[in-house]
Amino acid sequence: MSLIKTIGNKIFYIRETPVLLDSDLAAWYNVETRVLKQTVRRNRERFPQDFMFELAENEMHVMVSQNVIPNKGVLGGATPFAFTQEGVAMLSGLLRSPKAIAVNVGIMRAFVTMRQHAQNYEALATALKKLENNTNHRFAEVGQVLDALLEQKQLQENQKQRKRIGIIYGNR
């Protein structure tokens, strides 16, 4: 599996934001999670809330219940950090190994690919909605025509079933 697909499978939506967890980043950068966290804590001013945040207890519970992480014990008692695309970019400035640079390029591409898919989805949803509205209007018109035809047919049947009155001349 390509690096972009691997990374794409590890991007999660937390607080309606696509993020990567510290443990996944540490594994890709080939450093221990505690070293990555330590680096972030030493440079806290580089990571505002929209770049990186710590998961709340209920968010960790959801991650465990969705099998993102097998159990809280895997975290070693530490609260995971969640990094947005900007946070990952900031990390690349702090972790300068060739491996970190290569992984960071892959991560940026994965975020871009994910954003493109989201835009394509939005465009498709808009087109389907437009088609649905147009189709519903057309179906309404077709329904009106069918109703008129059925009404006309019913009138003709009613006419045939009426008792004829009047005088009949000759052999008819």
3-state secondary structure of 167: coil
Does residue 1 carry a pLDDT above 70? no
Contact 82, 52 (CB under 8 A): yes
Task: Give the CB-side neighbour count of residue 152, counting CA atoms within 13 A.
Answer: 6
For CA atoms 79, 91, 7, 114, the dihedral sign is: positive
Q: Assess if residue 33 is contained within a domain.
A: yes
Q: Assess if residue 107 is contained within a domain.
A: yes
Q: Assess if residue 141 is contained within a domain.
A: no
Contact 23, 75 (CB under 8 A): yes
Q: Which two tokens stand for residue 86?
A: 């900007």
| Residue 77's CATH number | 3.10.260
CB atoms inside a 10 Å sphere around CB 36? 21
Strand partners, 83: 20, 52
Q: Assess if residue 88 is contained within a domain.
A: yes
Q: Assess if residue 137 is contained within a domain.
A: no
Does residue 102 carry a pLDDT above 60? yes
- 73-91 pLDDT, tens digit each: 666 668 889 998 888 888 8
Backbone angles phi, psi at 80, to 5 degrees: -70, 150
Contact 10, 111 (CB under 8 A): no
Radius of gyration of the chain (CA): 33
Residues with Cβ within 8 Å of residue 76, at least 6 apart in sequence = 33
Domains in the chain, number:
1
3-state secondary structure of 13: strand
3-state secondary structure of 76: coil
Maximum average pLDDT range among 24-28, 74-78, 110-114, 158-162:
24-28
Q: Assess if residue 31 is contained within a domain.
A: yes
Domain extent, residue 61, equals 3-117
pLDDT of residue 53: 94
pLDDT of residue 171: 67
Q: Assess if residue 42 is contained within a domain.
A: yes
Backbone angles phi, psi at 14, to 5 degrees: -125, 130
Q: Assess if residue 34 is contained within a domain.
A: yes
